[in-house]
Structure 1
């Protein structure tokens, strides 16, 4: 099979990198198209994945619309040259329409119920949609659910082993407390009118945490001068090792929150998207497994940080919770590869 992977975000690289490797090993031809966003290209190079850049990230609805059109136009010769049979994507927004014109099916792996704009323009055109079983929207017969999360495609114990040599790359000694703070740029289509930490809130958090341990900040946008000294300088493929050993992770990011939980690290998520219609994975990780805490109020998030720091067995407790979760969940890469291969067997017609 000639399979196209459409990657628009660093998280998409992690989501699909093991499946790409497995499919290549089975003799399938893989074409990867990507987007200039943060460390996407760097990760692809680190994982030795050949790719073609179609666009760079733009902001605002008009900018994103222009980028969408650009990507689809540039995709046409790639589809023809590589005789694409099937496309795999996380959202499908940047490729699904042009692929539909070529009668090429797209399998979408989605975990964002509240990404209304992207879901509206992609779901009707997807051949199949795969989501975690905690996903609360229903797309009918094309919708297939599995017992897992996207992040278990690369953080399941079958796929990830923490590397203690991470401590050779940071100033913290193994066994000492340290904190990872992750801030996003809020420029995606689903981020319009949403927000995370303000500068004042970031500073307050840092001033409190620094009395307990080292602080490492990773940010999509340029870090403010007040916080520059805490900027994480680490190869992006080492981030998950850092998250595994962290005492607490605090983020306005969606993905890093989930990653931390699945690694057995307490995670606090604070942003305006938290609410009664939050994504199912966050609801499940908080209510069922007690691995994360989500807030849309900074003061409540700050109090939870203080509460967690009083727990002397915090990491031990969270590793036990992680083990409970892993008993319920699958290796998502195995599921993904089977879904791709079985699709072609069962649905040979486009």
Structure 2
């Protein structure tokens, strides 16, 4: 079977990497396409994957006008490749082009607030796979599974943390990760996180956390010297090793908050937006917390950091997830191999 995989966010590379390997082991031919977003390009290169890069627009206006251009770009690729099926994490482009070519499209999504992309994708797709924690009802095309996409790359079957990675960067196991996000994706419209107005506010936040361990910053933007001073520059492939060995993760990124939780690391998502998977990780497993007020989030972080045997407690909670959730890679591969009849 010939498959076009259309990915978008850097997280998608991680989600689909083991899926790609398994599909290729079963004899399927896969063409990967994406937009030329710098972070995504870097991660794909580091993973050693072959990919075609299309137009990428940073502004929301550019993204809106870029739909037609991306559709044309992908249509031309598909005409040459002649795929049997399109798969994506909810790409409107692959859904629309699949409809034009009369081929099935399967979407694997987890972000409820990605409203514009869902609306542009849903009429043209065949099936949308979401976690049971996904709080939106997308109608008859939606199929749910009991798992999280992060398990496709962070389950112990696929990921074993390396002890030597933190030491490589001069870190012990007593460090705290502060994640700052650019909040520039289409699903970030109206999203607020820390909202630091001055560099002094950021420094005060860091100083409060530093009483409980070394603070390192992971940031998509570096507008202030304080961010540059605290930012840890590491290989993308070593992020999850660093995350696993950290004491706590607090930040504006939903992806990193959920990854920390899946790895058994206490995490706090500072945002006025919500994700179904983060809600379930909080309410059912007590692994993470979504807090809209940055000061309340800081107090929560401090209360956690004061706890004895914090790591051991969270690892027990993590084990509960591993015992209860499905093998997400196997699930995705099985759904993709179930080739639908052309429309």
* TM bucket normalised to smaller: over 0.9
Shift of 1:194: 1.6
Mapped partners of 2:220, 2:143: distance in 1: 32
Alpha-carbon distance in 1 for matches of 2:20, 2:202:
38
Q: Which residue of 2 aligns with 1:283?
A: 279
Aligned counterpart in structure 2 of residue 180 of structure 1, from 158, 166, 177 = 177
1:235 CA displacement: 0.3
Q: How does 1:217-236 map to 2 (within 5 A)?
A: 217-236=217-236
The residue aligned with 2:135 is 136
Which consecutive residues of structure 1, in runs of 5 or more, have no partner in the other structure? Answer: none
Per-residue deviation, 1:101: 0.9
How far, CA to CA, are the matches of 1:189 and 1:258 in structure 2? 19
Relative to the length of structure 1, the TM-score reads 0.93
Match of 1:330 in 2: 326
Q: After the TM superposition, which parts of structure 1 deviate over 6 Å for at least 4 consecutive aligned residues?
A: none
- Can you give the 5+ residue segments of structure 2 that lack an aligned partner in the other structure? none
CA distance in 1, matches of 2:341, 2:95: 19
After the TM superposition, which residues 1-350 of structure 1 pair with which residues of structure 2 at under 5 Å, given as runs? 1-60=1-60, 62-173=61-172, 176-199=173-196, 200=198, 201-273=201-273, 278-342=274-338, 344=339, 347-350=340-343
Size of the aligned set, in residue pairs, is 340
Alpha-carbon distance, 1:112 to partner: 1.4
Distance 1:161 1:206, change over 3 A: same
Give the root-mean-square deviation of aligned CA atoms: 1.4
Secondary structure of the corresponding residue to residue 186 of structure 1: coil
Equivalent position SS for 2:140: helix
What secondary structure, in the 3-state scheme, does the structure 1 residue paired with 2:93 have? coil
Question: 1 CA distance for matches of 2:68 and 2:337?
Answer: 30
Give the whole-Å Cα distance in 1 for the aligned partners of 2:166 and 2:135. 40
Output the CA distance in 2 between the equivalents of 1:219 and 1:339. Answer: 35
- What is the deviation of 1:45? 1.6
Equivalent-residue separation in structure 1 for 2:218 and 2:275 (angstroms)? 23
Mapped partners of 1:82, 1:222: distance in 2: 40
Q: Contact (CA 8 Å) 2:106, 2:125: kept in 1 or not?
A: yes
TM-score, length basis structure 2: 0.95
